[in-house]
Amino acid sequence: MKKPGWLADLQRIRGEQQAWLERVAGLLPAELRGALVNVVPRGEQLTVLTSSAAWSSRVRFALGALEPQLLAGSPHIVKIVVRVSPAGSAR
């Protein structure tokens, strides 16, 4: 927090995560949208966080079929990983 502009950086990062969350949720079937906790782009990897292991499996399967649509226009993302969010994480 000593670095100038850290709050602006944090807001930019959170905005990017929110945009990805909305993009992923918009492609998934309605019953899977509520399982999403966050989507975190980092380098070449997009990490989709879900609320439980059961939802993680279902979301992973659904995203496999939607990967071309999801990554269209994002050539820097080459891998999608679906994981369970740590306990207590909030949106």
CA distance linking residue 82 with residue 24, whole number of Å = 12
pLDDT tens-place string over residues 27-78? 999 999 999 999 999 999 999 999 999 999 999 999 999 999 999 989 999 9
Helix (H, G, I), strand (E, B) or coil at 19: helix
Helix (H, G, I), strand (E, B) or coil at 25: helix
Decide if pLDDT at 2 tops 70: no
Confidence bin at 90 (pLDDT 50/70/90): low
pLDDT of 63: 96
Q: Checking phi first, is residue 34 left (phi over 0); if not, alpha (psi -120 to 50) or beta?
A: alpha
Domains of the chain: 6-84 (3.30.70)
Tokens describing residue 74: 């994002």
